[in-house]
Chains A and B, each alone.
Chain A
Amino acid sequence: MEKAMRRYMPIFVLPTFFAFILGFIIPFVMGIGLSFCEFTTVTDARFVGLSNYVEAFKDTIFRHSFWYTALFAVASLIVINVLAFALALALTQKLRGTNIFRTIFFMPNLIGGIVLGYIWQLIFNGILSRYSTALGLNEWYGFWGLIILVSWQQIGYMMIIYIAGLQAIPGDVMEAAQIDGASRIQKLFRVTIPMMMPSITICMFLSITNGFKLFDQNLSLTAGEPAKMSEMMALNIFNTFYGRTGWEGVGQAKAVIFFVIVVAIGLIQLRATRSKEVQQ
């Protein structure tokens, strides 16, 4: 079978392979290389060693954006997962209309980041203007505004994953706990949550990587106002590339740092899910 197929390799693999080289491999390799160069267009690239990285770490706004992003990722992780888990628990009970509620809670997830940002900008500014202030005047308004926005967007998504997890718990385990006289709280903490650990790990890592990579919502809701104080890492990298000429190399170095952080989170996730699998 393999022999017969090998002759057809060009038809099966080459279109994807060609596009993959063009759309991923070349930009990625060039990106790594250019992070060690000074350039405005690629043709004038000049090797400068690590100085872009030094410059990136010296940039106080970039450092601020890192802490702001990290704090945001952790806060959104907690808010989203606690609420999504609670919703999933409630909507797997015998209630009238659970399907309609699931449909409603999931819907915002399908709306694009730019559109979401402007929808919520109208609402937040409408509320804040009553206290004669605005979203762009305080970095923490932007912070909590973004938390509300991404919660609205992602709770439904995480809820779906949690519901799938809850429905996969075998009924006899619950029954055994019932017969042993476990209370509702005990059942939740001793049976449901331990059985749900795989879903919980997935959702936690999804929300933390989403938090780190957030861009569209940040751009449309606050655009970094006031004075770049609500700028998250992805937006900071974008602004370094396209906001200041001569800083393209530093932007690329920041992008590599960003990439390393995201990959590190991914690797931790891989280990966490593997160790969970061994336990079960």
Chain B
Amino acid sequence: MKKKLLSAAGTVFFTVLGLIYIAPILIVFMNSFKEKVYINKEPFALPTEKTWNGIENYLTAINKYDLLSSVGWTVFITVGSVVVILVCTSMCAWYITRVKSRFTKALYLLCVFSMVVPFQMVMFTLSLVADRTRLNTPWGIIIIYLGFGAGLAVFMFCGFVKSIPTEIEEAALIDGCNPVRTFFNVVLPIMKPTYISVGILETMWIWNDFLLPYLVLDLNKFKTISIAIQYMKGSYGRVDMGAIMAALILAVIPVIIFYLACQKHIIKGVAAGAVKG
């Protein structure tokens, strides 16, 4: 009886704590429907008839600040980079684990090394390289992300490839499969869990990344969501709090949908990445 009571009290406690935990997002959500002048004054008050602004803030964010095209570019960059990173680095990791030479060993060590280098170390020179090579577009930035994100991905794929027995691949090769077909028909299906883990880690990183696209992209033409929000806040003149609230909500919604759709994989992937990284 006492145990049951204690457990019920625990559930109540955590329900309250959970509500407090998501309160910041709910408060922003609530404010996104208020008129901009009332947001800074009374951020915790519920919208009243006087302060209610309907979806006007969302329309401003979309029309005046062109937020939908930012969302579009962010989706394009994230999906493109993650697909390219997954395909290229998994192939690379399989090769450098199976073929032992000085070159592959050096490449592996360099990849591990690149994981500890903070972005500030290369940010200035990287933006120069991107500018010179005309990679300052959403298409070009995919190559930059492949280069800068290769370290973690190669490292995680290598860790998994080492645990796969070579007999299956050898059998395929002896049966006359060339290495490329062997990779896609035999190795790739075995590595599926690692693809999911790496894919989720890279997705979360690239979707939320601010500084790399800020320095690399040609900002007159292309902005990601994070950059667009920073521009709304940092722009000269009056800051439109209403539009910012709407933009924050538009930035958070895709993340929450993505999270609820595949939370099991996300939590697993994050734990795997942390233990190895």
Contacts and interface: CB of A to CB of B under 8 A. Distances in A.
A complexed with B: yes
Interface of A: 1-2, 4-6, 8-9, 11-13, 15-17, 19-28, 30-31, 34, 41-42, 90-91, 93-97, 100-115, 118-120, 122-123, 125-126, 129, 152, 157, 160-161, 164, 202, 206, 212-213, 215-216, 219-220, 233-234, 237-238, 241, 248, 251-252, 255-256, 258-259, 262-263, 266
A251 B146 contact: no
Contacts of B230: 114, 219-220
Interface in B101-117: 104, 107, 110-111, 114, 116-117
A31 B124 contact: yes
Contacts of A213: 118-120
B95 interface: yes
B120 A258 contact: yes
B266 interface: yes
A216 B88 contact: no
Given A4-B173, A5-B98, A15-B88, A107 B180 contact: no
A125 B241 CA distance: 13
Given A16-B154, A24-B151, A123-B43, A103 B125 contact: no
Interface stretch (B50-58, B62-70, B191-199, B244-252): B244-252
A138 B118 CA distance: 28
Contacts, number: 268
B74 to A, nearest CB: 10
B24 interface: yes
Contact of B14 (A13, A101, A125): A101
Across the A-B interface, give the 7 residue pairs with the lowest CB-CB distance, nearest first.
A23-B147, A112-B208, A126-B43, A19-B147, A12-B95, A27-B122, A27-B125
Given A2-B100, A25-B110, A248 B21 contact: no
Interface string B124-151: 1110110001010000000111111011
Contacts of A219: 210, 230
B39 A122 contact: yes
Contact of A248 (B110, B124, B244): B124
A42 B210 contact: no
B156 interface: no
A118 B124 contact: no
B121 A28 contact: yes
A97 B11 contact: yes
The prevalent SS among residues of B at the interface is helix
B11 A95 contact: yes
A258 B118 CA distance: 8
Given A123-B43, A213-B118, A255-B124, A104 B179 contact: no
A16, A20, A125, most chain B CB atoms within 10 A:
A16
A11 B206 CA distance: 25
A113 B210 contact: yes
B238 to A, nearest CB: 16
A150 to B, nearest CB: 13
Interface in B58-96: 88-89, 91-92, 94-96
Given A22-B147, A31-B125, A161 B271 contact: yes
Given A12-B179, A15-B146, A16-B89, A119 B24 contact: yes
B185 interface: no
Given A5-B98, A28-B122, A123-B43, A23 B18 contact: no
B121 A157 contact: no
A109 B27 CA distance: 18
B126 A23 contact: yes
Nearest to B28: A119
Contacts of A202: 274-275
